[in-house]
Amino acid sequence: MSILQEIKNAVRSRSIHVAYVDVGSCNGCDIEVLACLAPRYDIEQYGIYVHNNPREADVLLVIGSVTPQWVDKLRDIWEKIPEPKAAVAIGNCPISGCVYARRGTLTTPPVENYIPIAAQVPGCPPRPTEILSAILSVAPLIYKDYEEKHR
């Protein structure tokens, strides 16, 4: 492995840029993501930065069971994110639909049907520490030795 790649790995492990998108949830998981930004959990001390701009994001946090209005927009957002990229499903809604998965509902979970999901964080809502550790553990799987793997 070249020295340049090692430097890239070291820098990338402390520079993870995150965008989050709510595709129709109760906002409980949004609040838990925002709690990660608060001083108690302080997501930025781990080198994770929330910009909410897909053009500069590495990790997309998907929250909520998918409503019909979001189906095409979610794909657009996913395509706007430059490679390498990963999507993390936050909460039960993108995994199973949770309490929205009932007869006659308009939502169409799971979110895996629309974009590839790298990691799932179950919980209704998950703890901020669970969200944090999920981002921290999924990032090296995708960004470590990216140039070596995709030469």
Partner 1 sequence: MRSIVYYLREFFRPEWVRKFFFAKTAPLVAPSYFKDYPSLTGKECTQCLTCMMICPAPGAIAVLHKKGGWEPEIYPGHCIRCGLCVEACPEGVLSSGRILDVTSRDRTAFSSWYRLQVDDTLCMRCGNCCVSCPVNREVDPQLAGTGTSASDEVIMRIEGGRVTILHEEKCTGCKTCENNCPNRAIRVARMVEGIQGEEEAEA
Residues that bind partner 1 in the complex, under the rule CB under 8 A: 40-42, 45-46, 92, 95-96, 98-99, 101-102, 120, 122-124, 127, 129
We find the least distance from the C-beta atom of residue 55 to partner 1, in angstroms, to be 28
Nearest to partner 1 of 40, 149 (CB atom): 40
Q: Positive or negative CA dihedral for 52, 54, 59, 64?
A: positive
How near is the Cβ of 129 to partner 1 at its closest, in Å?
5
CB atoms within 10 A of CB 95: 20
In angstroms, rounded to a whole number, what is the distance separating the alpha carbons of residues 55 and 64?
A: 21
What is the rounded distance in angstroms from the CA atom of residue 131 to the CA atom of residue 119? 10
Q: Which one, 5 or 124, has the nearer CB to partner 1?
A: 124
Least Cβ distance, residue 49 to partner 1 (angstroms): 15
d(CA 40, CA 48): 15
Q: Give the C-alpha separation, 151 to 147, whole Å.
A: 6
User: Residue 82 Cβ, how far from partner 1 at the closest point, in Å?
Assistant: 27
Residue 10: CB minimum distance to partner 1, A: 11
User: By C-beta, is 18 or 81 nearer to partner 1?
Assistant: 18
CB of 10 or CB of 141, closer to partner 1: 10
Closer by beta carbon to partner 1, 46 or else 80:
46
CA pair distance 69, 46, nearest whole angstrom: 34
Place of tokens 């990338």: 12
